Structure 1
């Protein structure tokens, strides 16, 4: 189910001329990008292409980026990393509500854990969770803050194939329910096509391909085009 048309006319993120260099190497080279509110976008690129750098800039974690124009994002931004980053000395519910204000914070935390399938695990320690469960807890921690923008930096990269499929389904369901804008950084072309409604390819510091995905169409056509944009050719079967 695609976001409503009227929602997509309202930009959640607007970048103009975003630049980031590491020494003499320019990783982001004057990027212009709009992310409509409620859209699920995936960002592909080779290792070192600047995907995570762009995500960190949007999250406000990198203050050395420069822009000739705008860098605007919503106030409520949540980030999910490849590592769940749960505090091992805090129980699961305490991790989920860490930093939350309000007397209903723990109730909201329990509701978020229920949504990701961890109801009843509130008092578990992070070390007692599987990798998939830990990422579910990380998703709950992000969603309990009701983000307008969810930034996900390869959140399923360390999971086994079957767990990754389950997490794909969960993330898509949670997005449909809450409708934040999502920017998913991934190396996996198939993951991008399965999850996102729009796929960007970062090339030489700029957006080299901006591809809208129609989930009713065969996936192979999108996959082939994205692999070509990444400079990858597959041997015929």
Structure 2
């Protein structure tokens, strides 16, 4: 695989599923991504956090190949087999659940794979349902099934649980962790929720002003206890990376 400055290529390396070197994205004079360097290993779950406007979704869109205007001397290598989950399920309202799952899947066993994917997310028997008949959490389960039915090497998730209620969100955390352990895609999860990042990820990145300021491994056994001292220490480090400190028993954001 050639190393060509300014190129965007499909990854063929066994060493890393994603390789980013010097990646830049500008809007006018502002560098939203400023010479980003990053590697994601096969099967690694990486969470990306940061303040609003820090470039999180811009980086995810670049990895999804949805943004042709990344530039500079950057290199972006991503697998051809990748999928994306968004905050809303983006289901086609005129297509039944199974048809949404296998949309674009060119395979003679597409229907069987779609049914198996729906069973994996707890929706066996709902293949003929219309999206409007599902709750918000069920719609996101369908979106997850659609993402995993292709057995992607890379799963990109842009705040997929942000619109869910707290209980449904916890259930989706358990489901996503279980399915990722079974299917083993590399994952980049964009989230505003520090606890969500620590709960799910092998590694958490803090993006600030277009640069990765913190790159922190999470060496905790799963499932993770939110009250464990190591969990709380990691949380404190990440909050500090976001400019939030504890004062008088409460979190205080830097000006």
Name the CA distance, whole Å, in 2 between partners of 1:32 and 1:226: 19
- Counterpart among 231, 239, 243 of residue 227 in structure 1: 239
Quote the offset at 1:235 in angstroms.
Answer: 3.6
Instruction: Determine if contact 2:35/2:74 at 8 Å carries over to the other structure.
Output: no
- Counterpart among 125, 128, 135 of residue 130 in structure 1: 135
Is 2:199 the counterpart of 1:194? yes
Give the root-mean-square deviation of aligned CA atoms. 1.1
Alignment of 1:13-162 (within 5 A): 13-162=18-167
Q: Hey, which bits of structure 1, 4+ residues long, moved more than 4 A?
A: none
Quickly say closer, same or farther: Cα 1:220–1:236, change in 2 above 3 A: farther
Name the CA distance, whole Å, in 2 between partners of 1:115 and 1:206: 37
For normalisation by structure 1, the TM-score amounts to 0.94
> What is the CA deviation profile of residues 119-175 of structure 1, one whole-angstrom value per residue up to 9, with x for unaligned ones?
000001000110100000000000001100000000000000000000000000000
Q: How many residues align?
A: 229
* Structure 1 residue runs without a partner (length 5+): 1-8
Quickly say closer, same or farther: Cα 1:160–1:235, change in 2 above 3 A: farther
Instruction: Determine if contact 1:11/1:37 at 8 Å carries over to the other structure.
Output: yes
